Amino acid sequence: LDHAKNPFYNLMEFPYPSGEGLHVGHVYSFGGADAYGRYRRMRGHDLFQPMGFDAFGIHAENYALKQGVHPADLVPRNVRRFREEQLKRMGAAFDWSREINTTDPEYYRWTQWIFLQLYRGGLAYRAKAPVNWCPSCLTTLADEQVIGGLCERCDTPVEQRELTQWFLRITRYTERLLDFSGAEFSETTQRLQSHWIGRRRGAEIDFADADGGPERITVFSTRPDTLYGASFVALAPEHPDLSLWTTPERRSAVERYVQQARRRSDAERMAGSRDKTGEFTGRYVINPVNGRRLPVWVADYVLPGFGSGAIFGTPAHDGRDLDFARAHHLPIRPVVRPPDDTPTPPDSESAYEGDGTLIHSGPYDGMTVDEAQRAIVADLAARGVARPTMVYRLRDWLISRQRYWGPPIPIIYCSRCGEVPVPEEDLPVRLPYSEQFRPLGTGESPLEAVDEFVHTHCPQCGGPARRETDVSDNFLDSAWYYLRYTSTERHDRPWDNERLMRWLPVHMYIGGIEHSTMHHLYARFIWKALQDLGHIPAELGPEPFRRLHLHGLIIKDGQRMSKSRGNVVVPDEYIDRYGADVLRVYLLFMGPFEEGGDFRDDGIHGIVRFFGRAWRLATAPTKAPQEPRDATPLQRAMHRTIRKVTEDMEGLAFNTAIAALMGYLNTLQEWQHHAPEEVWDRALDSFILMLA
C-alpha cells in the first residue's frame, strides 16, 4: 500500500456473517465490483480490494438465538464458512491480508475511540426522548431502520417508548449532507438521501393564548398562504407543552388519548385510511392574521419529529386536516381558488392542495399562492409573530441498542462526577462472555445482569461507578470500516493519515440501494465529523467516496427471495455444477447492474454454452490458413468490441459488455480458419482478456 504508484481503492459492502451463508445477491454485488476491479487493474492501476465481516449487531445475534448457540461461538464459525467455502470460491481478487472483523477487540477499540472523539466534540449526547421500539427484536431502532412503520429487520410493527438513549448529532450536518458536489453519486443516491433528509422551507408562526395569557403555540407550516382558512390548531401527543394547553376539565380525557396514541406506530398514525382521532384540550388560540379563535386539539396524526410538533388545520387545503375536520365537525373554509375553478371543500370530497389565487383572505385576495406566502410571512414577521425557517425530516442518529452483541458504549456513570468517558488508554471496553445474552425487553441491556462488567471505578475520582450497558448500533461499526482496511496492522491508531492521503477517498464504492438512507448516509456523516475534529486530513475533500454506485436487486422467478417462500438461491450448488465464472457472468448478464434481474434456472444454460464455445475456440490447435483472407473486417470488429467493452466497463454496464463479447465470439468463429496467424492470435487474446 505504501508503494503504489497508481492506486485505485475498489470497495464493496462487507457482509453480515449471519444466516446459513451468502446468497446469489451477494455474488451479484461482489461479482460486479470484482469485475470492475479487474478492469481497473488491466488499465494499469494498483488495485486495493479488501474484504471483511460486519459481524456485530442484531442480524448475527438473532441468528445465534434461533440456533441456540452463543454468538461468540457461532459468528467465528460463520465467518470461516463465508470466507473459505463461499467468498474464496467466487474467484474474486480480494486482498485477504487486510481482512477485518467488527467483533475483533482490536477493531471495536477504535469504534469506541471514534465515539469518544464525537463525545468530546459535542456530537454524541444522552437524552430522554420518544424512540422507536421493536417488540420482537426488543431494542430501539434508528428512524432509518423503520420502513413503513415496520422494523426493517423483522417486519414487526414498531412502537414508541420514552427512554434515555445515546444519539449522534447528524442534524448538524444536514446542509452539508445535501451537498453532493464533492463526489460522483448516482441520481438515485442523491434523490433517496435528499428525500430522507427532507429539507422543507416554510415559516414558524406564533398563535397567542385566546385568554390573554403569555403562552404561545409555535407552528411550522409550509403553507402560510392558507392561514385564513385555519379552523383549529392540533398538537402531537408528545408535544412538551400539551399539559399546559389542557384545561383541568379535559385533562383525564386528553391523558387517556395520549396513552392510546403512544401505542401506535408512526405509520399507523399517518395512514390515510384510518379515522383521524383526537381530543379537544379545552383551550383556544388566536389566529394572527384575522383574530379568529381557534380550538386547540391533540391529534395523533401530528408527529413530534417534524417541525414543532404542532400544526394549524386548514381542512379545505390539506387532506388529513379535512378528514379530521369532518370527523370532529370543524369548519371548512376554502381560501385558494384553483386556476380551472375545480370545486374545493366543502363542495368537494377531496382537499385542494395545488396552486391558485387567494380568496376570503383579506388584503391578500387575488395574490398567487407564492406571492401570498411571501407577503403573509413578511407582514407577520414585522409584527414579531412569524419567522421564515427551514426544517428537516432527519433526526439525530439513535445509536443505543439494548442488546448484547455489540461494542459497549465507553461511558461510566459516577454518583460524584456524573457522566465520565472511559480513558482512551483503557480501550477497548471488552464485551464480556455471558451466557445470559437474550434481550430482556425491559429497555435495559442484558449486560445489566453481568455484575463484574457493570461495577467499576470512576476514572476521575476512583470511587464506585457503573458502566453504560447499552451497546452501539452496528451501523457505527460500518460507518468507518473502509478507513481501517488501510491500516489493519497499526495498533497505535485507527488509521495512518499518510496512507489515507494515498488511497482515499475511495475511488469506487459499489453497494445495495437499501443502504442509501442508512449506511451510506452515516458513513458520509462520520467522515465529515472526523474531518472537522482534525482526525482526517482536510485535503482529502468533503466526501469519503469519489464514486458511489448502487446495484439492483436479484429476484427469483419473478418474486423477491425470502426464506418464507423457500426461494433463496444459494450460490454453492451453481458453483459446484457450472463454476464460479459461469454463475458470475450469468448474474451480470441478466439486466442493467443498477436494476438487478430475475434469476431463472433455465437462463444459465445460455451462459454455459457461451463458455463452452469460448473454451473450444481458445483451446483449439492453431494452424495457419492455406489461403488467408484480408482480415480487416476482423480487426475492425476487434477494435469495435474493445471500445464498446471499455465504455461499458467504465459505466458498469456489464450486461451490454457481455453481449458485445458474445457478438465478438461469433465473429471469431467465422474467422477461425481464415485469418492470418498474427492477426488471429491478437484477436483471440483480446477476447480472452476482455472476458477475464
Q: Check whether 262 has a pLDDT greater than 90.
A: no
Q: Check whether 268 has a pLDDT greater than 80.
A: no
Q: Would you give the distance in Å from CA 93 to the centre of its chain?
A: 27
pLDDT in tens, 219-232: 999 999 999 999 99
Q: Check whether 315 has a pLDDT greater than 90.
A: yes
Maximal C-alpha separation, the chain: 107
Q: How confident is the model at residue 159 (pLDDT cuts 50, 70, 90)?
A: confident
- At the topology level, CATH places domain 200-391 in Isoleucyl-tRNA Synthetase; domain 2 (3.90.740)
Task: Please state whether beta strands 278-286 and 200-209 pair in parallel, antiparallel, or not at all (unpaired).
Answer: antiparallel
- At the topology level, CATH places domain 7-112+475-560 in Rossmann fold (3.40.50)
* pLDDT, position 563: 65
The stretch 336-344 carries a mean pLDDT of 90
What percent of the chain has a predicted confidence (pLDDT) above 90? 82
The cell numbers describing 183, all together, are: 463526489
Give the sign of the dihedral formed by CA 122, CA 128, CA 131, CA 133. Answer: positive
Mean pLDDT computed over every residue of the chain: 94
The cell numbers describing 215, all together, are: 403562552
**Hunting for cell 414508541 — which residue is that?**
160
Per the CB < 8 A criterion, the answer to whether 674 and 626 are in contact is no
* pLDDT, position 146: 83
Per the CB < 8 A criterion, the answer to whether 216 and 296 are in contact is no
Per the CB < 8 A criterion, the answer to whether 261 and 300 are in contact is yes
Q: Check whether 207 has a pLDDT greater than 60.
A: yes
Per the CB < 8 A criterion, the answer to whether 569 and 556 are in contact is yes
Q: How confident is the model at residue 415 (pLDDT cuts 50, 70, 90)?
A: very high
The stretch 570-587 carries a mean pLDDT of 96
Provide CB contacts within 8 A for 189, sequence distance 6+. 180, 516, 520, 548, 550
Coil/strand/helix, residue 592: coil
Q: Domain ranges in the chain?
A: 7-112+475-560, 200-391, 599-691
Provide CB contacts within 8 A for 407, sequence distance 6+. 56, 102, 108, 111, 112, 428, 429, 431, 471, 472, 476, 477
Q: What is the CA radius of gyration of the chain?
A: 30
Per the CB < 8 A criterion, the answer to whether 405 and 63 are in contact is no
Per the CB < 8 A criterion, the answer to whether 391 and 307 are in contact is yes
Per the CB < 8 A criterion, the answer to whether 207 and 283 are in contact is no
Helices (H), 300-397: 319-328, 369-382
Q: How confident is the model at residue 472 (pLDDT cuts 50, 70, 90)?
A: very high
* pLDDT, position 317: 97
Give, as one character, the DSSP assignment of residue 82: I
Q: Check whether 216 has a pLDDT greater than 70.
A: yes
Looking at 138-147, 413-422, 585-594, 650-659, which range is the least confident one? 138-147
Q: How far is CA 205 from CA 225, 239, 389, 449, 657, in A?
A: 12, 16, 10, 49, 57
* pLDDT, position 274: 67
Class of the 599-691 domain?
Answer: mainly alpha
Residue 387 region by backbone torsions, left for phi larger than 0, else alpha for psi between -120 and 50, else beta: beta
Q: How far apart are CA 439 and CA 139, in angstroms?
A: 8
The stretch 454-471 carries a mean pLDDT of 97
Backbone φ and ψ for 250, nearest 5 degrees, come out as -100, 0
Q: How far is CA 403 from CA 31, 58, 112, 444, 519, in A?
A: 34, 8, 17, 8, 20
> What is the secondary structure of 407-438 as a DSSP string?
PBP-EEEETTTEEEEPPGGG---PPPP-S--S
Q: How far apart are CA 557 and CA 551, in angstroms?
A: 19
